[in-house]
């Protein structure tokens, strides 16, 4: 025990000495949480559009001013012809063009069907789809109010649960949190151990009377403590600066976060046992954890849309489960009654990784 303590102290000293890494370790989560929390939003707002009014009637002008008054859209260009439209799209300045054909008003007021064409830039289909949907609602709403009996038919009352202002932060912050903890734990431990191997100092440690598991433990503990501190600072920032709630049980969130942190440290240890150079360890950590986590954990893209094999792969990513847990506890305020399965999966992963680490480590020493 005393041995471990001295060793941990030494390792800690080692970590603290590298000021730059410390700055990055604490600076990165802070900057990223703030940046992504404030800046990223999938909400459609001020999308620049063009209008091509071939009718120039009272009706079409009213419609255009109605569209321009909406917060979703910003009328950027009045086009004179369809050929101009192509140029506008090619320069990337606008995302949609509302085409009001000649005789629009006449058709609308007589018995003919009036048409409006919405041309969107399909090169960004996700955005195109969203703005098409919003724009057609605005237009239909406008004419619904004008032409039919007011307030007739079924009117929905819409209540946005958990995030009434539709901010980006409630979705992004739990994701960034999972991501940052993952990267810091995996990369730091993976490299710290491989570095000793690469520089040859590992041999020295191994022939010392210290038990191998103590060496690994001593390497992991400083990063564990750092990760917990980072977790605390992220939570404080989310609550104070980003106004995110912690609706659920804070202790539960902490307990599960600790399981997640240990799981990630173990991933780092396993990678470092399997590799021999820092570069390989880093690249495996990055390729194996960063992109799959970003893409498959449900934080950027809806999981239910993915092909089944990818969903299966997504399920073996610890961050996916942790992300859902954080979202549930912080934003929804649910507890173990809903999350027990998630916690069990995460716990199981931790045990499996622990067994792998112990087994592999022994093999290398023989």
Partner 1 sequence: MFRTLSILIKKEFLQIFRNRSILAIIFVMPVIQLVILPLAANYEIKNIKIAVVDHDKSTQSRELIRKITASGYFKMTHYGENYEKAYEEIEKDKADLILEVPNNFEKDLVRENSGKILLAINAINGTKAGLSASYLAQILQHYNRQIQVEIDPGAESSAETSGLEILPTFWFNENYNYRLSLVPGILAFLVTLISGYLAALNIVQEKETGTIEQINVSPIKKRDFILGKLIPFWILAMVAFTIGLFVTIFVYNIQMQGSFLLLYGFIAVYLVTVLGLGLLASVYSETQQQAMFIVFFFMMIFILMSGLFTPTESMTEWAKYIAYANPVTYGVDGIRLIMLKNSGVRDLLPHFSFLIGLGSVAITWAVLRYRKTN
The number of beta carbons lying within 10 Å of the beta carbon of residue 54 is: 16
Closest by alpha carbon to 244, among 187, 176, 153, 162?
A: 162
Give the whole-angstrom CA distance, residue 283 versus residue 276: 12
User: Binding to partner 1 (CB under 8 A): which residues in 80-139?
Assistant: 86, 89-92, 95, 108-109, 111-130, 132-134, 136-137, 139
Q: Which residues pair with 50 in a beta bridge?
A: 77, 97
- Map the footprint of partner 1 across residues 299-338, applying CB under 8 A: 300-302, 304-307, 310, 314, 324, 327-328, 331-332, 334, 338
Tell me the site size for partner 1, rule CB under 8 A. Answer: 113
Give the contact letters, 274-303, x = binds to partner 1 (CB under 8 A), - = no: ----xxx-xx--xx--xx---xx---xxx-
Among residues 1, 20, 251, 363, which is the contact residue for partner 1, using CB under 8 A? 20
244 DSSP 8-state letter: -
**148 lines the binding site for partner 1 (CB under 8 A):** yes
Radius of gyration of the chain, Cα coordinates, nearest whole angstrom: 28
| Shortest spacing between CB 358 and partner 1, in angstroms | 26
Packing angle between helix 169-199 and helix 19-39, nearest 10 degrees?
160
CB contact burial 66-76 (16+ within 10 A = b; e otherwise) = ebeeeebbebb
Which positions from 247 through 276 interact with partner 1, judged by CB under 8 A? none
8 A C-beta contact, residue 191 and residue 279: no
With binding defined as CB under 8 A, does residue 52 bind partner 1?
no
Q: Based on CB atoms, which residue is closest to partner 1, 28 or 258?
A: 28
Burial of 241 (0-12, 13-18, 19+ CB in 10 A): middle
Q: Which of residues 12, 26, 38, 354 is near partner 1 by CB under 8 A?
A: 38
> How far, CA to CA in Å, does 305 sit from each of 172, 310, 311?
19, 10, 9
Choices 160-168, 200-208, 223-231, 349-357; region in contact with partner 1 by CB under 8 A: 160-168
Q: Which is nearer to partner 1, 152 or 240 (CB)?
A: 152
Q: Which of 12, 26, 28, 64 binds partner 1 (CB under 8 A)?
A: 28
Nearer to partner 1, 43 or 355 (CB): 43
| Interface with partner 1, residue 151, by CB under 8 A | yes
Per the CB < 8 A criterion, the answer to whether 52 and 82 are in contact is yes
What is the spatial distance between Cα 251 and Cα 197, in angstroms, rounded to a whole number? 38
In the complex, minimum distance from the CB of residue 78 to partner 1, in angstroms, rounded to a whole number: 19
65/146 with CB nearer partner 1: 146
Q: Which of residues 199-218 bind partner 1 (CB under 8 A)?
A: none
């Amino acid at each position: 025990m005393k041995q471990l303590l001295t060793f941990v102290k030494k390792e800690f000293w080692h970590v603290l000495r590298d000021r730059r890494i410390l700055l990055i370790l604490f600076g990165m989560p802070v900057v990223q949480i703030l940046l992504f929390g404030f800046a990223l939003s999938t909400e459609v707002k001020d999308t620049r559009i063009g209008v091509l009014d071939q009718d120039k009637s009272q009706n079409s002008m009213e419609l255009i001013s109605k569209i321009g008054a909406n917060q979703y859209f910003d009328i950027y260009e009045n086009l004179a012809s369809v050929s101009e439209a192509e140029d506008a799209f090619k320069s990337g300045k606008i995302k949609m063009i509302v085409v009001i054909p000649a005789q629009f008003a006449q058709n609308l007021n007589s018995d003919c069907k009036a048409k409006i064409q919405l041309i969107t830039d399909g090169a960004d289909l996700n955005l195109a789809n969203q703005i098409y949907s919003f724009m057609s609602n605005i237009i239909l709403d406008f004419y619904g109010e004008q032409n039919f009996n007011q307030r007739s038919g079924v009117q929905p009352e819409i209540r946005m649960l958990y995030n009434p202002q539709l901010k980006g932060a409630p979705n992004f912050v739990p994701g960034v949190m999972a991501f940052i903890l993952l990267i810091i734990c995996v990369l730091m431990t993976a490299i710290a151990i491989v570095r000793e191997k690469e520089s040859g100092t590992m041999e020295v440690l191994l022939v010392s009377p210290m038990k191998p598991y103590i060496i690994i433990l001593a390497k992991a503990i400083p990063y564990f403590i750092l990760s917990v501190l980072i977790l605390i600072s992220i939570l404080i920032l989310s609550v104070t600066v980003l106004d995110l709630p912690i609706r659920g049980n804070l202790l539960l969130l902490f307990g599960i976060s600790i399981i997640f942190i240990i799981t990630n440290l173990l991933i780092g240890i396993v990678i470092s046992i399997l590799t021999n150079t820092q570069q390989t360890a880093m690249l495996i950590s990055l390729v194996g954890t960063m992109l799959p986590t970003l893409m498959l954990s449900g934080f950027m893209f809806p999981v239910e849309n993915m092909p089944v094999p990818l969903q299966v792969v997504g399920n073996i990513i610890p961050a996916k489960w942790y992300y859902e847990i954080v979202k549930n506890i912080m934003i929804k305020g649910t507890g173990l009654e809903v999350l027990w399965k998630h916690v069990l999966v995460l716990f199981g992963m931790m045990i499996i990784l622990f067994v792998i680490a112990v087994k592999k480590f022994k093999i290398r020493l023989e």
